[in-house]
Structure 1
């Protein structure tokens, strides 16, 4: 463990300007702060069985312990000596040196090695894809499904406040936008792969379903590989070089398309330019050589993992090719035994009760099948009809519905072979595909100790600047999450003040009302016309330049985190609601859909530079010292980032907040700012972008209201009217929490009236 430097020590250093284009190739390294309790829980998570580790990482994107567990998984996989030697007869991947050199030439050398590895994999996968036995094909595809359906998740949150507007992040996000169907989940890569699986007769629940891994029959190696992918999706800012390397290698190899057929959404020729650009950026980075090494090591790792998994799939198919009927029956018994319960109390098999056989957690399936072959339940009926066991699993029998059609067919063939006097087939024992590699990774995981951990509780009395710094860099400060949750809840509770008094707002109306779709649309229309549009009259007097720049500085911090509230919505396992796609599309617009010229964070930096405000990036410690944005303006942005860190439990509130902030881009205030900026020859592109994209006809303002309607419509279908009422109150709390910061004068008046003339200044008066 190490000791973290005090953030106060950074405040004595000058604050360098943040240049555009942002050629960042990795974020500053530093200590990672972890609370003792969360660190202990992370150790329990990573000590769990591989399937449970995967489920926990997938399900939990809000806790400190899950982030620490993800970091430990990445340490296990990314530590250099974790990669075993290349087998004889395979390419080394990569032979390309990690040293300085021409980026295009280096990318081409990497590509040559990766494409050679792809050729090897294609040769190994072709017999599996074209196997004559449809059951073996389906078994292979089910085993691959956890990786096929998590592919690309490492890009889910690569775009965030800490990483935007890095050029490489913009390029990655543009490809993420494509892979996610450009705002339509059914057109995206996961849905396409799911349809391809279904065409092969493989029907699976959603990735987030409790039974997903069970239904795929996932081996420990499959679950560990999937856990690595999800872990990388949780810490993409801290592991940006590895994201680049994994992204390139996964799409260049294209294992899932080799197995499933069809054209890839991103081929090697699509991702090689991105890799080359990243390698070119490293030439301008102070950490360039190390970043280049990390990215290329990630390429090598991903190639190793895909080879490893292909070997496991081949072993799985080979074993199934040689399975006897007795083997198949043993596998069916082993699958159902844990769920057999105590329904067979009076039934005996050999010298033991059937319940004793099935309750044994170390069930010897081979011994069970050998005993079952001689049982009276499988003896041929005297009338030549089905044996007693087959009758019991048919319609009307006591075991009907327990076994699926395929399993029933196996039992039928097996009992017929017994009736025909055929001897017992050889039993190959339990499935072991990939187990040797899985044991190696599990040992690595048990021994993994992430570097730079500082074990301590988060400081509860941080000032706004230090708190904001930790929130933006939450991957390095996971112990800030409990404080962030408390701050978000406090802000939402405070905002309910406007449920009663919100009609008096200058730019908003957060007064509570009973929800119907019509009532919501009427409210937002009235806000649009009565508070944003109709009051507009051109300014007859323009403030001087200094005052205009100061006013812009009061909005700047919020602009520098534009879109942050939505950046963690609609990632892996969370795109089943119509609102998810709709909100993801708004976020994509804010980020320019990968076009950095349209990226709102790029635009605001250019605007601020036109005002001679050359700020450091908000992720940098130097930002703690910036002198252009006053301390009392941080509350609004702190609240927004706090909300963003809880996209599951504060989902409703995020939708309401989104409605408030998207409407804020319209009307008199925005038009006045444009008029003032133009008068002094300052950049108006940020104001104009919002006035256009947030339009109330079909833009973000209208879409944000429709998102709420779509979400509550889904809630109604799933859970009824009472659930809608509860969800609506939470949505409106989110809207009110935006209004609370905007309407600081109103909040101050109400607080003063409630508490009398000695009231201290309201918190909301200290923000925008």
Structure 2
């Protein structure tokens, strides 16, 4: 890998710097959707809390959550009636289409990431926590676990595609470049997504905001869209309050269960603050959007907007052409801030025949294939111009002063500044492998910890590449178009034969079994840690990532504590009279019963899981190795040993079944690799397959890399090289 540490950290910030200086909300949004983003600590946390508190306290609110929810329900019903009334009052299909387009685009920043603010709530250190498991259950429903491209946001993307509005919607970071989506439409989702990157600091507030949004359900503005297009998409999948296919409980019921069971009195006060903040912002946003749509029923509104959006580039070309004694270039310069005067003069110019767009040069000869403005306007632009011309009266009335729309909230300059400044680098990396294990348990970190993780991964992968060609258990040298399923079945057969051949091998003693079980605890109690990055919204619902998120979801027991793998493993330890501290605690990492080397592989898991985009091929290979490792052989052998000494075999039994090579995790892992590699020639050219396959093979071997002197020397050398890249 040649990507520097800074590039890994700052991709979102770099994208934000390319946007307009006043576009604070969209700049925060593009940073917050980055799956490898790293948000600052104290200044950011304090600024968010101050702004949330200020906004939540703008107006008196009911004291209890039940009363708050009742207030939201009343508001939502009245607001939905207002939006639907806009359509009812419009007899013009073109006006209705305009209202639908505007409403759908305005809601896009939020709806394309519906539920994403819950994406980092689960972490290796809290994967057995009951509240976290409830939140993960709700989030899994939002992303459509087990189904590719079926998150609530994915369904909304299909709506935008049906409406021909998706040019900038995928990947979602491109949405900030859509000029049709005003900056204030990004405020609420950008703030929520930014908070989601500090899950330990904002859990109550995020759950409170989530409860508000699920109480609202389908946004009032989107009820206008549904009114016009009731059959266009599955609207219940877009509605965050509704149940998804196969769910017993609705999104609202799941969220209520989290609030009722997961917080003490002090945290509930923060839940109410998050709810009140979200409701206040949502009301102001909705009022502003309603005013915009109401004005947009006048074709002149959209025409003025088109002039404003296109004025900058148009001003370059029209120094000679004059309107009302001024060059069109001068008019366009003024139109960048106020297009009203140009609009009035244009209506009186020879380019426009009021009421008769078919006869108007502006949308005929000038834009024809022989005209000087051929392809300057898109078909949608031309529709706006024609609609405006046709609406013009033959005699121009005195223009009315424009109405002032209610002001919507936007991300403050102070908040954005704390994010753009980046995390404070204290320069203190983990002092040893045990401290690294402890510090990497949670999602948030410092630049020093992130730097340690990146260096460790690069070193571990270099060790894994050492003499890989001589490893008999390696992946095939070349990936074939037939995919990995045939190879997978062959490996399963081999592991079965190895198990049969080991029938005469003596069982470990009771003490040896207990010792091996204890030394595996730092690894097994963070089961799925290598996949933690695939809880990120875009990965969790992608064609490759949905396999990995579903695997992660299974490792944590599908939200059910009795099926949670870390909890099951702790039960086995308890049967062995072994009581270890909580996994995320410093005491666990420092517990004398563990040997230092027992933390080496777990730290690799914790490190690589932070970089789902940077190390996608390696994670795919590692996941395949992990899911295949015990099926048919090792798990059966372990079962015999556990049973011999009277210990529960539930942990190995459940893995031997869910990891199966036909329909289980091993099959999913192979399919994820195949899906990823099959897409590469289209996007990166045929030569990319061989390069990426080599990285997948390295990831596969990284589960069990060589441990000799030369291999460990390669590890140290690669870590040093990685550190030097950090300064590039």
TM-score bracket for this pair, using the shorter chain length: 0.7 to 0.9
1:142 to 90, 105, 112: 105
Which digits, 9 at most, give the CA deviation of each residue in 1:327-372, with x for residues without a partner? 4332211112234374445434455443454466955422333443
User: Offset at 1:423?
Assistant: 4.0
Matched, 1:538 2:514: no
1:328 to 298, 302, 311: 302
Matches of 1:484 and 1:612, distance apart in 2: 34
Taking the TM superposition and a 5 Å limit, the aligned residue runs for 1:279-428 are 279=259, 281=261, 288-321=264-297, 323=298, 325=300, 327-340=301-314, 342-344=316-318, 346-358=320-332, 362-378=336-352, 385-387=359-361, 390-412=364-386, 414-415=388-389, 420-423=394-397, 425-426=399-400, 428=402
- In structure 2, what is the Cα distance between the partners aligned to 1:307 and 1:71? 24
Match of 1:23 in 2: none
Matches within 5 A, 1:111-260: 111-128=69-86, 132=90, 133-134=95-96, 135-196=98-159, 202-203=165-166, 205-209=168-172, 211-215=174-178, 217-256=180-219, 258-260=223-225
Distance 1:224 1:474, change over 3 A: same
Contact 1:659–1:704 (CA<8 Å) still a contact in 2? yes
Give secondary structure in 1 for the equivalent of 2:266.
Answer: helix
Distance 2:261 2:557 in 1: 21
In the TM superposition, residue 640 of structure 1 has moved relative to its aligned partner by 0.9
Q: What is the CA–CA distance in structure 2 between the aligned matches of 1:445 and 1:233, rounded to whole Å? A: 15
**Aligned mates of 1:724, 1:224 — CA distance in 2:** 40
Summarize the Cα distance change of 1:732–1:360 in structure 2 as closer, same or farther, 3 Å threshold.
Answer: farther
Where 2:474 maps in the other structure, the secondary structure is coil
Alignment partners' CA distance in 2, 1:41 and 1:573? 19
Whether the aligned pair in 1 keeps the contact of 2:26 and 2:187 (CA below 8 Å) is: no
Gaps of 5+ in 1: 1-33, 97-106, 504-508, 764-768
Matched with 1:22 is: none
**What is the CA distance between 1:647 and its match in structure 2?**
0.8
Structure 1 residues 279 and 362 mapped into 2: Cα distance closer, same or farther (>3 Å)? closer
8 Å Cα contact 1:73-1:228 kept in structure 2 = no
| 8 Å CA contact retained: 2:353, 2:359 | no
Query: Quick check: 1:57–1:230 contact (8 Å CA) kept in 2?
Result: no
Q: 1:442 matched to which residue of 2?
A: 412
1:390·1:412 contact (CA, 8 Å) conserved in 2? no
SS where residue 534 of structure 2 aligns? Answer: coil
1:748 maps to what in 2?
708
1:641–1:110 distance in 2 versus 1, CA, 3 Å: same
Task: Determine the C-alpha separation between the residues in 1 that align with 2:70 and 2:402.
Answer: 40
Aligned position for 2:241: 266
Deviations 1:260-307 (A, max 9, x none): 544446349845654554455457xxxx33222212221222222221
- Quick check: 1:520–1:705 contact (8 Å CA) kept in 2? yes
Alignment of 1:472-491 (within 5 A): 472-477=441-446, 479-491=448-460
2:602 is the alignment partner of 1:637: yes
- In the other structure, the counterpart of 1:10 is none
Q: Distance in 2 between matches of 1:239 and 1:381?
A: 56
- CA contact 2:618–2:698 (8 Å) conserved in 1: yes
CA drift at 1:118: 3.7
Tell me which residue corresponds to 2:493.
Answer: 529
C-alpha distance in structure 2 between counterparts of 1:328 and 1:260, whole Å: 18
**Pairwise mapping of residues 666-677 of structure 1 onto structure 2 (< 5 A)?**
666-677=631-642
Q: Give the alignment partner of residue 59 of structure 2, picking from 67, 72, 86.
A: 86
Cα pair distance change 1:638/1:128, threshold 3 Å: farther
2:409 and 2:306 map into 1 onto residues whose CA distance is 25
Aligned to 1:674, the other structure's residue is in SS state: helix
Distance 1:416-1:254 versus aligned 2 partners, 3 A rule: closer
- SS for the counterpart of 1:569 is helix
Which whole-Å CA distance do the structure 2 matches of 1:458 and 1:417 have between them?
64
Counterparts of 2:568 and 2:84 in 1: how far apart (Å)? 48
Post-superposition shift, 1:651?
1.1
Assess, with a 3 A threshold, how the Cα gap between structure 1 residues 677 and 116 changes in structure 2: closer, same or farther.
same
The structural deviation recorded for 1:214 is 4.7
For the pair 1:611 / 2:570, whether they are aligned, the reply is: no
Rounded Cα–Cα distance in structure 1 between residues aligned with 2:254 and 2:146: 22
**Residues 1:169 and 1:499: Cα distance change in structure 2 (over 3 Å):** same
- Structure 2 distance, partners of 1:258, 1:387, is 39
Aligned pair in 2 of structure 1 residues 751, 639: CA closer, same or farther (>3 Å)?
closer
Q: Structure 2 CA distance, aligned partners of 1:254 and 1:66? A: 32
User: TM-score, normalized by length of structure 2?
Assistant: 0.83
Q: Which runs of 5+ in 2 are unaligned?
A: 1-5, 227-234, 244-248, 720-728
Q: Give 1:469's match in structure 2, choosing from 438, 441, 444.
A: 438
Aligned length: 683
Match of 2:666 in 1: 701
CA offsets 1:663-698 (integer angstroms, 9 cap, x no match): 113133221211111111112211111111111222
Q: Which moved more, 1:538-547 or 1:59-68?
A: 59-68
Shift in Å, 1:518: 3.8
d(CA) in 1 for partners of 2:483, 2:103? 52
**Structure 2 CA distance for partners of 1:214 and 1:60, relative to 1, 3 Å:** closer
Residues 484/685 of structure 1: CA separation in 2 closer, same or farther (3 Å cut): same
Q: Residue by residue, what CA displacement relative to the aligned partner does 1:633-654 show, whole Å, maximum 9, x if unpaired?
A: 1110111111110111111111
TM-fit CA distance, 1:658: 0.6
Take 2:465 and 2:516, find their aligned partners in 1: how far apart are those partners?
28
Superposition deviation, residue 516 in structure 1: 1.5
Alignment RMSD: 3.9
Looking at structure 2, the residues matched to 271 and 110 of structure 1 have their Cα atoms a distance apart, in angstroms, of: 18
Q: In terms of mean alpha carbon deviation, does 363-372 or 518-527 score higher?
A: 518-527
Report the CA distance shift for 1:628/1:258 in structure 2 as closer, same or farther (over 3 A). Answer: farther
Distance 1:456 1:266 in 2: 41
Find the aligned partners of 1:204 and 1:623 in 2 and give their Cα distance: 50
Q: CA deviation at 1:378?
A: 3.8
Cα drift, residue 110 of structure 1: 5.5
Question: Once the two structures are superposed, what CA deviation does each residue of 1:158-207 show, in whole Å capped at 9, x if it has no partner?
Answer: 22213211112212222222222232144432233344556667555425
Deviations 1:379-419 (A, max 9, x none): 7999x944366321245433233324443244335556779
Give how far 1:254 is off.
0.9
Distance 1:197 1:615, change over 3 A: same
Cα gap change, 1:498 to 1:621, in 2 (>3 Å): same
